[in-house]
Amino acid sequence: MGGTDWRGLNEAQWRARLTPAQYHVLREKGTKPAFSGAFWDHHAPGVYACAGCGQELFRAEDKFDSGTGWPSFSDAIAKERLELRQDDSLLMRRTEVLCARCGGHLGHVFPDGPPPTHLRFCMNSAALSFKPQT
């Protein structure tokens, strides 16, 4: 993973390294149905990383049950690991969250989370991998 030019990978290279569900979410900005992903009800200690490039993004202790059926986090490990973009799709204005390293679509962030950040990073399970705490 060290010297990979993640932004330079082409469609065939991404398809070869991702599952169809991961490709749909990370590269096509898709989503999985609520309450269907591997991490929405996952509570083990560890770190959640981008399923595309492995960059660590969220700590398990910042994960909370938002009631939405998607894994939700109140904060990121570091803001510079995420890229935020305005998303006006689906006839609404939202803030899209992408992995800053590979550009993969992770989900959206909303201003209705718990204190102290009041943020809800609503992520797609297919966009994440999990590294258990050892």
DSSP string, 49-110: EETTT--EEEEGGGEE--SSSS-EES--S-GGGEEEEEE-GGGS-EEEEEETTT--EEEEEE
How many CB atoms within 10 Å of residue 31?
19
Tens-digit pLDDT profile for residues 41-75: 999 999 999 999 999 999 999 999 999 999 999 99
- Contact yes or no for 120/66 (Cβ under 8 A): yes
What is the predicted pLDDT for the residue at 2? 55
pLDDT range class, residue 4, cuts 50, 70, 90: confident
Instruction: Decide if 122 is catalytic.
Output: yes
Catalytic residue selected from 50, 53, 102, 122:
122
Which residue bears the tokens 């209705």? 112
Instruction: Give me the domains of the chain, ranges plus CATH numbers.
Output: 6-132 (2.170.150.20)
What amino acid occupies position 34?
A
Tens-digit pLDDT profile for residues 105-117: 999 999 999 999 9
Take residue 99 and report the two structure tokens written for it: 């992995």
How does 37-66 read in b/e, with b if 16+ C-beta sit within 10 Å? Answer: bebbeeeeebbbbbbbbbbbbbbbebbeeb
Specify which residues 63 forms β-bridges with: 73
What is the predicted pLDDT for the residue at 1? 45
